[in-house]
Amino acid sequence: MLTRAGLRGLGDSSSPRGSTVLELLFDIVYVFALARLAGRVADDLTIVRHSLLSEAGQTLLFFAAMWMIWSLNALMSSTYDPRRTDIQILLLATMFGTLVLAVSLPQAFGERGAIFACTYVLIQVGRPLYLALALRGHPMQGVSVRVLSWHVVSGVLWIAGGISGGLGRGVFWTLALAIEVGGAATSWPVPGVGGDRRSTWAKVSYVHLADRYNQFFMIALAEVVLEAGAAISFPGFSTERTITLVAAFVAVVSFWRIYFYHVGPGRPSTGSLAAEGLQLSWWASFSLLLIVGGIICTAVGFGQVIEDPNPPIDWALVVIIFGGPVLFLIGRTYLERPSETKSRCWVLMVGALVLAAAAPPMVFLPPVAATVSAGLILAGIAIYDGLSHRSGPETNPAL
């Protein structure tokens, strides 16, 4: 339905403070996509252990590619009004394309490579192409032209990789993704087009963007619950599985508490957090990439132990169980921009070092010991972080 906001020009529209229902619907597709990615990580640890590093590299490539789609759509809906009909059509088209990508994931390096590449390029080129055409004559058109230029170049490599096979596909797709990540990190510079970094971020509603990040974090967090619950449903409860399930729940609560209640340096931990949202840094998108990646690894690690808690643990499972929380803590540390008057809070980074130090001895202990240790350390970090930032009565975040 064409809303009143849709009657204005696209460039003059502005994003609301909160996310729309359609954006929540868009995120539902990523529940399925994250489950497919978690399945690939689990397979990397079991079925294809003999080629773990190469398979893990493919999973990382898919994860980053899917993340690029989500982050650019979140940026678009935080810049222009997502209640407009044309923006809604873009979101729905991207939603369907993302579903196709998620279905293609298991065979993307096989017979479905061309489908994956063509669908990805249609999404990443189609979005900025429409925006560039719709913003004709508006100062923001240059931003879309710059994004389009970078994705046209990377799109050639994506298509080349989809046509080729074997090692060539991995090389082409890695180069294509590197171009896209480099463009996003530098705000897609093109000489003489669209100004500098400030013009790219001039219209972005950071309150809306932070709300989108909050919602996606909760969706990713549900993956831990899904993996642990699904793993224990079929074999049923046992002492080891029950202990690991409790540890997974403790990890979920700790992730939630740290994400929403850890505040940046110089910021109060009271009502302003709910009113203003996260104070996102320039690198917030990459920080959330680490956060979500860490949660997926944690979900897979705990799920693997619940499925089979008895065999001796090895280094790969230890890395997944402890590396996931480490990635989460590093990402959360750099999610918010530092204060101009105070240095960055290092509580979470110290916690990451504690997790890293506790990991190596776990190779000599039962798998359940690793999950319990990781859960207890995360709980300790959450408690200490809460005490160190206590300056008044806590309030719920906006989400």
From residue 87, how far is each of 11, 142, 290 by CA, in Å?
A: 12, 18, 28
Between residues 339 and 66, the one the model is more confident about: 66
Tens-place pLDDT, residues 65-78:
999 999 999 999 99
138 band by pLDDT with thresholds 50, 70 and 90: confident
Tens-place pLDDT, residues 216-257:
999 999 888 888 888 888 777 888 899 999 999 999 999 999
Tens-place pLDDT, residues 143-186:
999 999 999 999 999 999 999 877 889 899 999 999 999 999 88
Per DSSP, the three-state class of 9 is coil
206 band by pLDDT with thresholds 50, 70 and 90: confident
CA-closest candidate to residue 22, choices 71, 93, 72: 93
CA-closest candidate to residue 307, choices 376, 204, 215, 230: 230
Number of H helices, E strands in the chain: 14, 0
The pair phi, psi for residue 73, each rounded to 5°, is: -70, -35
DSSP character at residue 341: S
DSSP character at residue 343: P
From residue 275, how far is each of 258, 268, 392, 397 by CA, in Å?
A: 18, 12, 16, 8
Vertex 125 angle, CA 122 and 127, to 5°: 95
Residue-wise DSSP of 270-332: SHHHHHH---B-TTHHHHHHHHHHHHHHHHHHHHHHHH--SSPP-HHHHHHHHHHHHHHHHHH
**Residue 135 token pair:** 């913003």
Residue type, 273: L
Question: Does pLDDT of 117 surpass 70?
Answer: yes
Between residues 398 and 187, the one the model is more confident about: 187
**Residue 88 token pair:** 């809604």
The DSSP bridge partners found for residue 249 are: none
Interacting residues of 5 by C-beta distance below 8 A, sequence separation 6+: 13, 81, 83, 84
Residue-wise DSSP of 241-259: HHHHHHHHHHHHHHHHHHH
Q: How far apart are the first and last CA of the chain?
A: 27
Strongest mean pLDDT among 125-139, 181-195, 377-391: 125-139
387 band by pLDDT with thresholds 50, 70 and 90: confident
The 10 Å Cβ neighbour count of residue 43 is: 15
